[in-house]
A and B are shown apart, each in its own frame.
Chain A
Amino acid sequence: MILVAIFVVLLLSTEALGGSGTVKTSVGTLTQTNVFFKPPESIKDIGGGYTISTSADGEDKTSLDFETESNFVLNEDRTITINSEANTLASGANAFGMVAALTQTYPTENGYRSSVFQTHSYTVMPYLFAIEQVAGAKSSGDTSGGYNNNVVSIGDEIFNFASTSDYNADTLTEETYDPSISTLPGFAWENGFDYINSVNECGLDYTGTLSTDSVLLVD
């Protein structure tokens, strides 16, 4: 049994200052993909990777702190288990977004197979706000799933909203909203999850995708 583990902790912090009336954007991005493993007895690559991107847009001063941690395990059946979590803090923003993906690829007798789990979340408000988002995902063999939990602060008021998607890809996104969000006219939140399975064997490349998407709007 071969066990390969990669532990990555990166901290990326950006801050933008600008003159009054100028739209400023502060973006934090971390990308790490195609971390391939090659067991000594295998002539084919086995691998997995992840990509996480976050961004925040503001009018005057926007800051974004972004921290992520992932670990990889090579399973006995040559699939990869990937655990990943990202914690993002943004302030002075009126828009905040996140996209993330876990990817694993493993060889078969006639080619390659791969699975990808993706999630995205985008929050917009007419006011400047602070948001803390914790987004996590796990992919292992044929199963994958994830979640994103959000806490928005406007002054002393705090609002919560979150979504999850299970590890078997057989349920919809399950969202939870703080009912007090109805006091925020103009609030919008769009989020979703994608499960992508691919087979590339004998000259035929197949991809099957199950996607969920949800939009919440406050008049």
Chain B
Amino acid sequence: MKSYKKSSERIALICSLFLLAASSNAGASVSVGVTLFNSDSSVSESITVENANYASSALLLPYNGFADFPYSIHSSGAGSSTSSDGKFTDTISAVHDGEDASNVDASVETKSGSFRWSKSVDSSEDIAMSMGIATQIVNGELDSSYTNSDSSVAKEISTRNSMYSDKSYITSGSLGTQGSGSSLDEMENAFVSHVEAQHLGKTALVDSDVFELTDTEGADHKFSDIIKLGSDSGSLAGSVSILSNNKCELLPMTGIVSGPIIAAMKFTPFYTATEKNIFEVQTVPKDGTPMSFRAVERTMPGDIKTFESVTLSMTAKWT
């Protein structure tokens, strides 16, 4: 325990900080940088927002246990987009009592979407930091990245006539994100996804595409991704589904004939440092040719209903 004598050699500072960055004008950008330090720890935060609100508060004490507080630094904040085209970058790094620095970072940009996030940092016997982020796009684009000291996740999502939402949670020792989406109607819908996870020296990259290039009703689609990066293992899962309604059937198109409904997934594993493939690129379907369909009206007696689905999925685990 730090002695009062030692602490008296430092400036005893108890302060509360309140930061508010707000922008209502399209394209306006606001940046805030804060460094808090005492005899135990140093915490630095850097926040940049564009078309977003952000507010935070901090409590800075001279050392852990001062005045019976369970921490020496506490900082928390939250923000949200104010426009469908918004952006934020939030970076936190901290050093505790001469130990290695740890960090939690997030960066999100949406077009035709929205986001909100919150974060907190506590320095007590150790540093505890976390950040939670939620995003949503409707007929739009999402470009996001989440990072901690050991790993990172990057997502590039684009949707047409479809929506996508995800939630992510980052701590200094773990990173998790889970997203899902679906088409809004059965015509001219599309989902394009590029998801990359770096962890334990390996990078797993999944590309997913589904298109319905027709203006007639036929099929819906759904998609999802889940990434969990822990202290000693990582996992990634993604799926794309095409679902027919009860009036149509999915007629497979093969060979050089391609239908207006297309779906494919690609998995690329490589060593992060050298970018050398761990093994060759894998695809679903296995032969690398996208699934291709045409939705045609099913000529069945009126009292018969049929529903068809095709699901492409990938999972990966590594240590």
Binding site for B on A (CB under 8 A): 110, 142, 168-175, 177, 179, 181-182, 185, 195, 197, 199, 201-219
Q: How far is the CB of B216 from chain A (nearest CB, A)?
A: 19
B250 surroundings in chain A (CB, below 8 A): 172
C-alpha gap A210/B310 in the complex (Å): 7
Contact A211 B311 (CB under 8 A): yes
B283 surroundings in chain A (CB, below 8 A): 208
Q: How far is the CB of B149 from chain A (nearest CB, A)?
A: 21
Interface string of B277-291 (1 = CB under 8 A from A): 011001111110101
Contact B254 A203 (CB under 8 A): no
B305 surroundings in chain A (CB, below 8 A): 216-219
Q: How far is the CB of A149 from chain B (nearest CB, A)?
A: 18
B293 surroundings in chain A (CB, below 8 A): 172
**A210-B278 contact given A181-B304, A182-B303, A204-B204, CB 8 Å threshold:** no
B313 surroundings in chain A (CB, below 8 A): 208-211
C-alpha gap A177/B306 in the complex (Å): 11
C-alpha gap A170/B287 in the complex (Å): 8
Supply 23 A–B pairs (Cβ within 8 Å), ascending by A. Answer: A170-B254, A170-B285, A170-B291, A172-B293, A172-B310, A177-B300, A179-B300, A182-B301, A203-B318, A204-B269, A206-B282, A208-B267, A208-B282, A209-B311, A209-B312, A210-B284, A210-B285, A210-B311, A212-B311, A213-B309, A214-B306, A216-B306, A218-B303
Contact B312 A210 (CB under 8 A): yes
Contact B269 A206 (CB under 8 A): yes
C-alpha gap A177/B267 in the complex (Å): 37
Interface string of B83-94 (1 = CB under 8 A from A): 000000000000
- The residue of chain B having its C-beta at the shortest distance from the C-beta of A172 within the complex is B252
**A211-B267 contact given A182-B303, A203-B319, CB 8 Å threshold:** no
> Is B78 an interface position by the 8 A CB rule?
no
C-alpha gap A208/B316 in the complex (Å): 9
| Chain A-chain B contacts (Cβ-Cβ < 8 Å), number | 125
C-alpha gap A215/B308 in the complex (Å): 6
**A202-B311 contact given A171-B252, A179-B301, CB 8 Å threshold:** no
Contact A204 B252 (CB under 8 A): no
B279 surroundings in chain A (CB, below 8 A): 110, 199, 201-202, 204, 206
Contact B314 A207 (CB under 8 A): yes
Give the contacting residue for A168; candidates B287, B309, B312, B319; CB below 8 A: B287
**A218-B304 contact given A171-B254, A172-B250, CB 8 Å threshold:** yes
> Is B202 an interface position by the 8 A CB rule?
yes
C-alpha gap A201/B277 in the complex (Å): 11
C-alpha gap A215/B102 in the complex (Å): 52
B309 surroundings in chain A (CB, below 8 A): 211-214
C-alpha gap A210/B286 in the complex (Å): 9
> Is B317 an interface position by the 8 A CB rule?
yes
Give the contacting residue for A182; candidates B202, B269, B304, B317; CB below 8 A: B304
Contact A169 B306 (CB under 8 A): no
Contact A205 B318 (CB under 8 A): yes
**A205-B304 contact given A210-B285, A210-B311, CB 8 Å threshold:** no
C-alpha gap A174/B310 in the complex (Å): 12
Give the contacting residue for B318; candidates A110, A174, A204; CB below 8 A: A204
B269 surroundings in chain A (CB, below 8 A): 204, 206
Give the contacting residue for A173; candidates B278, B287, B303, B308; CB below 8 A: B308
Contact B310 A199 (CB under 8 A): no
> Is B142 an interface position by the 8 A CB rule?
no
C-alpha gap A182/B311 in the complex (Å): 28
- The residue of chain A having its C-beta at the shortest distance from the C-beta of B201 within the complex is A203
B22 surroundings in chain A (CB, below 8 A): none
A205 surroundings in chain B (CB, below 8 A): 316-318
Contact A209 B287 (CB under 8 A): no
4 A-B pairs with the lowest CB-CB distances in the bound complex, closest first: A182-B301, A171-B252, A204-B318, A208-B284
**A204-B300 contact given A210-B311, A213-B308, CB 8 Å threshold:** no
Contact B286 A195 (CB under 8 A): yes
- The residue of chain A having its C-beta at the shortest distance from the C-beta of B246 within the complex is A217
> Is B18 an interface position by the 8 A CB rule?
no
A-B contacts besides A207-B315, A217-B307, A219-B305, 12 pairs, CB < 8 Å: A168-B287, A171-B252, A201-B278, A202-B278, A205-B317, A206-B269, A206-B279, A208-B282, A208-B312, A214-B309, A216-B304, A217-B306
